[in-house]
Structure 1
Amino acid sequence: MLITHYAVAQRQGQRQYQDALLHGTYPYLPVLDQILSYSEITSSVSLGTMDIPLSRIVGTKTEDRANAFASNFMPLLPEQSEFAAKWSLLYNYQVKEGIQDPIVAFEYMNQFYVQEGNKRVSVLKFLGAYSIRGQVTRLIPKRTEEKENKLYFEFLDFNRVSGNCEVWFSRLGSYRRLLKLMGKGPDEVWDEEERLFFRSAFGRFEKAFHMAHGERLELTPSDAFLVYVEIYGYRQICGQTEKEMYAALQKIWSEIRLAERGRQVELVTDPEAAKELSRPSILNWFIPAGLLEPDTLKAAFISTKTPETSSWTYAHEL
């Protein structure tokens, strides 16, 4: 029996559906209209037609078709349905010619919800495409003291100068930190070439991060990217291939894990400070070694020779 592409996609949807039920989460597409019933929108802005990263498309605008898809946008309806026939036609069209018509979507909190074109999104997600063209309206919520709200307004500032919507951090202050590492001011508008270079570099890193099973961590790819840029430097990574990034990620995986736990790495250059770190704590008398983890990981370099007598030591003191 010939297994159709729709049947394969449907199985992916069914697995996602069962997994959601197993973990007690909503098994269908999130519905923006329902989300907005608990939110206060202060304004809406038309963003025109743009490339929408498929990873940022998470739901549908209305509940009309929500139950036709699992939460990963894979179809759930029977293979003999009219819905399945239309999905298959779109699949064939995409493979042969490519879908050109833009979808209609709303952006809320840097996530996109589809009003027209759910099946197109489903097909392209199934094929592993990176983005889809869409006419987008941004819905801006009222400012609050909630962390997610503050993160969103930090994103809006970043998006205003970069035009980028792929990057989404989980920690406040990360956007400004990234701009500083790139040598850019918070109000410095990027030109088109800079936007393309950044998007390409981040896209390669995101793939390398998933190759390393980064989705198992409690970090967004952007959080890990920030650590990566801090260690290797932005200019260097722009020239790296996806495979080179993957290899480089393996070397700093411990730093990525530290970032996951919200730790900081401090470089200690003062010998007296290093001695202070090595002194046993009174807590060690009561708590066995290994059970007490510091909030901050600190490291010290110890050299056998002075900078005056060793060129190696001198170079590392610079």
Structure 2
Amino acid sequence: MSDPYSAMAETDFSKARLKEIFSRIGGFLVPGQRRLLALEEVRAVIKPKSEAYRGVIAVPVSMIVGSEGRYRDFARGFLPKNDFLRGRWVRVDLAHYKDITLPPIQLYELGGAYFVRDGNHRVSVAKLKGAMEIDAEVISLGSEIRIEPDMTLEELKKAVIRYEKEQFYQNTSFGALTEDANLDFSSPGRYDEIMEHILTHKYFINQGNPVELSLDDALLSWYANVYKPIVDTITAERLASRFPGRTESDLYAYMVKHWGVLKRRYGVQLPASEAVRDFSKRYGKGLWQRIQAFFQ
């Protein structure tokens, strides 16, 4: 006589696979919304600065949003993407039907969300069953950024950039000093680069100066004599049109690096306008490339 629970578990897996197939069809135009978050990619964006062991606790299943190592095997919602997952998935589900207690799963907590270290199949089964909580051994990674359950990696990057801008403006009084609210970047980590530029500018000005320049005055000097002239040149050359998706502040950061490369190559400091034109010629997209990119 066949085990009825085995048949039920097999049916559950088939339902989960069917849901994944339908979600794939429904998410065809926005594939990022289907993708399970990969812990290492999230860590690279958030850069947690601390780690703490929290022991075994009950975790909301809805807040488990990603995985350390199996993010390619499951879609968002931990729906199984391949039939080779069937065997282990069915065994976990069978344990549920037979009231067999399984050991706690292992999770990382980051920004209020959870990422699976061990127990991906158990999370997949729990989500399909509509379980509210699951026991987990948790390690927390420190973060000031909150991760919402439906966030994509791109949305997380934008949240990090907003946080970095807010912190930079607060810590430096950049907006109050320059009246410029548009120091905007398209990738995280750029505000730290800007701070390095300001501190380097301050260092060189203070060389041989009997009175040390304050950080506020150094920021204003950098803005007036370095940043603004380069951005004005970028605007005049319409450089942003050749780099879709990049801000003028992005292009400033790229330009400073490119300017340094040109100086090392030719041994002279070229005018900003020449450096901008050289950068645009080497790396910018022409009209035909932009048309191709639009249809890709």
| Structure with a larger share of its residues in helix | 2
Q: Do these two structures clear the TM 0.5 threshold for a shared fold by scoring above it?
A: no
TM-score (norm: length of structure 1)? 0.42
